[in-house]
Amino acid sequence: MKKIFLIIIFSIVTVEIYSQYDFTTNDIPAIPQSTYLNPALMPTCRVYVSLPGLASTSIQFGHTGFNPYQVLESRNDTTFINFNSIVDHVAKNNLVYYNLSEELLSFSFKIKDKHYFSFNITEKSNLNFYYPKSLMEFAYKGNGALLEQSITLDPSLDFNYYREYALGYANNINDKISVGARVKLLSGKLNVNTGNTDIKLTTTGEMYDITAIGNVELNTSIPEELRDTNNLNNIDSLINDTDFLKDFILLKNNLGGAIDLGITYKPTEKITLGLSVIDLGFINWKNDPLNYVSTNDEATFTFTGVDVAPLIAGSDSAFDESMDNLLDSIQDIFNMDSTFNSYTTWLPTKIYLTFKYDISPKTSFGGGAQLMFVNKKLSPSFHVYALHKFSHIFQATINYSIAYRNYSNLGFGFALTLSPFQFYLTTDNLLGPLIYDEYQYYNEEENKFEYVNIPHNLKFLNVHVGFNFAFGCKAKKYRAPSIRL
């Protein structure tokens, strides 16, 4: 189990994965899901309905560290990972992120172009993992390169899986100002959160011993059935367990709430400014909580290494016993305590600033900035776009964005509305998966060289696709008043 855990952590840190915002969807007013970034917006059509299996699906994942071409190199017809380059290209603090959002049901409608009501039920899962550059340096260079030096390791992990019930309202106060709000009831399913974890490592002595001082905290809310490794090894039986699925789907102990607030302002007929705060809220985790907390704040632990000879010799049991002894020593010295206390986590709150300039009734350009707050850390991103409404049937947009230390992101999206059917597809990084390099490696099982294509400069990717039923999308034609004599 420890090996599996180490493999998962290593994969999270080293695999190049992708983004966290959804600018392109927000740029297309025909899509009702565009209001998710600002509840003060009103989409084009009068009525929208999205049904299970057809509604909005959004997947986003990203990494602020390195690009594939920066860390992969070919030598003697074989591809290698350059770990020194990994250390050189990561920032002081690095974020790995993913978000999956699946709409189960949604509907919305306008009344007299002044009031807009919306409702949605959405399954959401997200991961935010921050790791410092010092962690990568220590993993690659080892304690020998850090002799008589101290480094601080403060990685933070927050994983959430929850359901959102949201009710929104927007109002056109006048020709210049619109306001909106969305109130959310949250039902938590799974959570893993590192809490306040802060460890300082110091390498001292002729034997290069490592001394660790700090606090460790890990909070989890996971159903007992999923904690059982026997169930995970036989996942099919767990999926077929109707009682477990019913309890998991209807889980109601982990309750929380959130609110979205938005405003738009038109200083002139052609210019529109927007400001919104999204996901300002929390979840209180009461179902099956399990906490691991160090109660000895001043504890120190000296690590002299693990004997890997048994593992090299093929003796997994001897190596496992050595690891168990190490973990037991850490637990005893730091006085790790297991408790069953409920705890609260906050959602990753986002602030959006947007502007739009209407060149003509059909063409506009604009831009925006996002500020995301996760575990007291800030992640900014920016974009500019151009939108053209070919007709009430088809709208398309193209944009450029700067996000996660990456400056070559071209986005594209469209909405095709053949009332009552609407299909849309958007992405903020169109070229990332399409521009790739070919690498050669030797397949020992097949005893031959093979080739693999890896994206050249892919640090994030998001795709948002959906199908809506849309009614009342065509603007009413203006008719001059008739004069009767």
Please, what is the average pLDDT of the chain?
79
The pairing of strands 406-418 and 156-172 is unpaired
Q: Which residue has the higher pLDDT, 430 or 195?
A: 430
Question: For 85-95, how does the pLDDT look when each residue is reduced to its tens digit (9 = 90+)?
Answer: 888 888 888 88
Tell me if 372 is assigned to some domain: yes
- What is the per-residue pLDDT for 6? 34
Tell me if 321 is assigned to some domain: no
Cβ contacts of 218 within 8 Å, gap of 6 or more: 192, 193, 194, 195, 197, 291, 292, 293
Question: For 143-179, how does the pLDDT look when each residue is reduced to its tens digit (9 = 90+)?
Answer: 555 666 677 777 788 899 999 999 999 999 999 999 9
Tell me if 326 is assigned to some domain: no
The first and second tokens of residue 57, run together, are 């699906």
Percent of the chain with pLDDT over 90: 36
User: pLDDT class for 2, splitting at 50, 70, 90?
Assistant: very low
The CATH code of the domain that includes 394 is: 2.40.160
User: pLDDT class for 478, splitting at 50, 70, 90?
Assistant: very low
Q: Tell me which residue range forms the domain holding 208.
A: 2-299+335-471
User: pLDDT class for 129, splitting at 50, 70, 90?
Assistant: confident
- Tokens 């169930």 -> residue: 231
Tell me if 257 is assigned to some domain: yes
Span 241-259, mean pLDDT?
73
Q: Is 464 exposed, middle or buried (0-12, 13-18, 19+ CB in 10 A)?
A: buried
- Distance separating alpha carbons of residues 446 and 257, to the nearest angstrom: 54
- Distance separating alpha carbons of residues 208 and 220, to the nearest angstrom: 35
Does residue 480 surpass a pLDDT of 90?
Answer: no
| Furthest C-alpha separation in the chain | 108
Span 326-336, mean pLDDT?
61
Tell me if 220 is assigned to some domain: yes
- What is the per-residue pLDDT for 3? 38
Tell me if 86 is assigned to some domain: yes
* Number of separate domains in the chain: 1
Tell me if 310 is assigned to some domain: no
Q: Which residue has the higher pLDDT, 190 or 234?
A: 190
Question: For 393-408, how does the pLDDT look when each residue is reduced to its tens digit (9 = 90+)?
Answer: 999 999 998 876 777 7
**b/e code 41-73 from CB counts within 10 Å (16+ = b):** bbbbbbbbbbeeeebbebbbbbbbbbbbbbbbe
Tell me if 270 is assigned to some domain: yes
- What is the per-residue pLDDT for 170? 97
Identify whether the C-beta of residue 23 lies closer than 8 Å to the C-beta of residue 106: no
Q: Which residue has the higher pLDDT, 308 or 103?
A: 103
